[in-house]
Amino acid sequence: MNIYAGILVKSDNKVLLCKRCSKCNLPNVWSIPSGRVEKGETAIDGARREFFEETDVKIKNIRLLGMFRSRTGQGLVYVYLHETNKKIKPDLDEAKDGKEHTSCDYFSLDEINVKQTTPELLELIKKVLS
């Protein structure tokens, strides 16, 4: 079973989402920086590494928010939460894997609709912003 992990950032009652590139997995979907956990790596360390590789921002203080089955049903996705008063600004140009996203922004619950993200992630966002 594949393990995937990512980080949801919350700041000022909004969450950071990044729009996936048109040629990436989940094309044009607003999601969180995430990816496959490497062999020998814990889910929490994989989430931190993936976030850094996709945003060029290091995050330390995170806690498990929830998990769900991957879209294929053959993996688990661990989502960690980072809460901050200062908005994190991803640098997609400098990030090693920044090309996986076309843009990043912060959204309130009212600004997110079902078409912009996956239903599984939307449930966790509702948990954080409600």
34-41 average pLDDT score: 96
Look at the domain 2-129 and name its fold.
Nucleoside Triphosphate Pyrophosphohydrolase (3.90.79)
Banded pLDDT at 72 (limits 50, 70, 90):
confident
Banded pLDDT at 71 (limits 50, 70, 90):
confident
Domain ranges (residues) in the chain: 2-129
CA dihedral angle for residue 47, residue 49, residue 128, residue 104, rounded to 10 degrees = -130
Q: How far is CA 128 from CA 83, 84, 94, 125, in A?
A: 10, 13, 29, 5
- Distance, in Å, from the CA atom of 51 to the CA atom of 40, rounded to the nearest integer, reads 18
Whole-model pTM?
A: 0.95
